[in-house]
Amino acid sequence: MKLWQKDTAALKEVEVFTVGRDREFDLLLAPFDILGSIAHVTMLASVGLLTAAERDSLVSALREIYKTTDPAHSSPLTIHPEIEDIHSQVEHLLTQKLGDTGKKIHSARSRNDQVLVDVKLFLRNELEELVQSISSFFELLQTQSEKYKDHLFPGYTHLQLAMPSSFGLWFGAYAESLVDDLITIRSAYEVVNKNPLGSAAGYGSSFPIDRSLTTRLLGFETLNYNVVYAQMGRGKAERIVAQSLANVADTLAKLSMDACLYLNQNFGFISFPAELTTGSSIMPHKKNPDVFELIRSHGNRIKALPNEITLMTTNLPSGYHRDLQLLKEHLFPAFKTLKDCIRMASLMLGQIEIKKDILADEKYKYLFSVEEVNKLVNAGIPFRDAYQKVGRAIEAGQFTYDTRVEHSHEGSIGNLCTGEIKKLMDETLNSFPFPKVQAAVASLVKG
């Protein structure tokens, strides 16, 4: 069954090509399609397009179907081979159970705005799950930052020895990076959390629908008011979400590259239990950082996602185009991949082993050149003169140094500002309207 089919069927080859992998990804949209339909039929009854009895029977049936969207259900929802998509499948089930009443569910909407609201509800839910994963990872990084704040190791610029750093700084840097990443996710969430339902095919409806009601019922913050823009927002919303994912992926990829370097024997700063690394088929001594290498690669692939979506939507005029269907194949799997990467990074960093007294090795002595310059400045010597004096001592092989490091300003080795960074994270986390959204969804599902 196809919502658009009348008397002439499409050629089979055309049908197979145009449907593509839609059924696969539509099952991910299934619970959200049903939530949208519950809100829609509730609104239809409020404006007199359905009777109260029809509304009640439809909502009851939709709630029963909703339960089957759980893969653990004894009879999980599937899309029949002869049915085109999840929207058709749900309408088919309703019609089987309720007869003509089931056929009324599509009044005052198009498959275009139905897909739009499904995608936005899906993205909203996925972003919430991602935020929870990031929050837990942030807590781990902060814990490790405090635990290892007194463990010094080399800092690098241009991959050359630069100045002393610490594992407190290293862990803390990635924790604070996640704060900014979460701010961009919050912006993406705000774009997603607008209701497109009621825009129909992109030009509205002659029915007297109440779009504000469906907005409240679905827990959206506001509407996409202009019906043409509601359709134009498809592709744009996905691109903005993809960019927010790419920011997190970039943080993970950079962290993973650091870990690969620091595990290398020429650095030797960190190690992991043997069960967290992999071996070689020929070299018995190998302990490879495969987890971090894969996180790095997955992260880099997700970083390409915004550009993929940009190119797939380039030069599309306003209105709906089938090109947009393919966005699901690129964006939807990225959420699971990113959450898996966060989970594995947490596993690795939770069991990391830090080498002690790394900077006691004389090969790192020039890390302390700036410290010696600063001591001379504190003694009253102008900075440029102090810099030249230490430089000449290094060139003459007469450089002497002290491995004690005393940094006290905000964000330095001796003052990590862990609490301040946590406050920034908490403020960002608390800015998400998750409780309101959860309450709205619960009301739709349970009544």
Does residue 366 form part of some domain? no
In a domain? residue 441: yes
pTM summary value:
0.93
| Per-residue model confidence (pLDDT) at position 10 | 60
What is the total residue count of the chain?
Answer: 447
Instruction: Judge if 188 and 317 occupy the same domain.
Output: yes
Q: How many helices (H) and strands (E) does the chain have?
A: 16, 6
**CATH number for position 61:** 1.10.275.10
Of 22-31, 162-171, 189-198, 261-270, where does mean pLDDT reach its minimum?
Answer: 22-31
pLDDT at 20 over 80: no
Query: 299 and 247 in contact (C-beta within 8 Å)?
Result: no
Q: Among the three residues 73, 106, 139, which one is the final residue of a domain in this structure?
A: 106
Q: For residue 264, how far is the Cα from the chain centroid? A: 30
DSSP for 309-376 reads HHHHTTT--SS--GGGGGHHHHHHHHHHHHHHHHHHHHHHHHT-EEPS-GGGSGGGGGGGHHHHHHHH
Residue 51 lies in a domain: yes
Look at residue 336 and tell me if it is in a domain: yes
User: Residue 174 sits in a domain of what CATH number?
Assistant: 1.20.200.10
Shared domain for 173 and 271, answered yes or no, is: yes
Task: Verify that 83 and 227 share a domain, yes or no.
Answer: no
- pLDDT confidence tier of residue 330, bands split at 50, 70 and 90: very high
* Residue 346, burial from CB neighbour count under 10 angstroms (0-12, 13-18, 19+): middle
Judge whether 174 and 141 are in contact, CB under 8 Å: yes
CB neighbour list of residue 327: distance below 8 Å, 6 or more residues apart: 234, 235, 238, 309, 312, 313
Geometric angle at alpha carbon 247, from 245 and 132, rounded to 5°: 55
- The DSSP bridge partners found for residue 164 are 154
Does residue 235 form part of some domain?
A: yes
The confidence score (pLDDT) of residue 283 equals 80
33 within some domain: yes
- Tell whether 194 and 216 lie within a shared domain: yes
Tokens representing 384?
């440029």
Per-residue model confidence (pLDDT) at position 332: 96
pLDDT category, 286, cuts 50, 70, 90? confident
CA distances from 275 to 226, 278, 298, 332, 337 (A): 56, 7, 22, 31, 22
Taking the C-alpha atoms of residue 119 and residue 224, their distance in angstroms, rounded to an integer, is 14
Residues 97 and 127 in one domain: no
pLDDT in tens, 331-342: 999 999 999 999
CA distance linking residue 125 with residue 57, whole number of Å? 27
Taking the C-alpha atoms of residue 374 and residue 382, their distance in angstroms, rounded to an integer, is: 10
In a shared domain, residues 302 and 165: yes
Q: Are 437 and 124 in contact, with CB atoms under 8 Å apart? A: yes
Tokens of 435: 């409780």
Q: Is 244 in the same domain as 269?
A: yes
* Whether residues 281 and 133 fall in one domain: yes
- Angle among Cα 213, 218, 222 to the nearest 5 degrees reads 65
Mean pLDDT of the chain: 94
Per-residue pLDDT at 284:
72
| Domain-located, residue 368 | no
Residue 244 counted as domain residue: yes
Residue 11: pLDDT band (50, 70, 90) is confident
pLDDT of residue 277: 85
Quick one: what percent of the chain has pLDDT higher than 90? 88
User: Nearest CA to 23 among 70, 74, 84, 77?
Assistant: 84
pLDDT of residue 8: 56
User: Last residue of some domain: 79, 106, 133?
Assistant: 106
Structure confidence by residue, pLDDT tens digits, 132-149: 999 999 999 999 999 999
| Burial degree of 102 (CB within 10 A; 0-12, 13-18, 19+) | buried
Host domain of residue 48: 12-106
Residues 277 and 312 in one domain: yes
Indicate if 182 and 320 belong to the same structural domain: yes
Are 217 and 353 found together in one domain?
yes
More confidently predicted of 169 and 7: 169
Q: What is the pLDDT of residue 149?
A: 97
CA distance 39 to 164: 59
Of 106, 133, 152, the last residue of a domain is 106
Q: Which amino acid is at 320?
A: Y
Q: Cα angle vertex 351, ends 348, 352, to 5°?
A: 80
Taking 90 as the threshold, does the pLDDT of residue 81 lie above it? no
Q: What is the DSSP letter of 104?
A: G
Percent of the chain whose pLDDT exceeds 70: 97
Per the structure, the count of domains in the chain is: 2
Q: Are residues 189 and 307 in the same domain?
A: yes
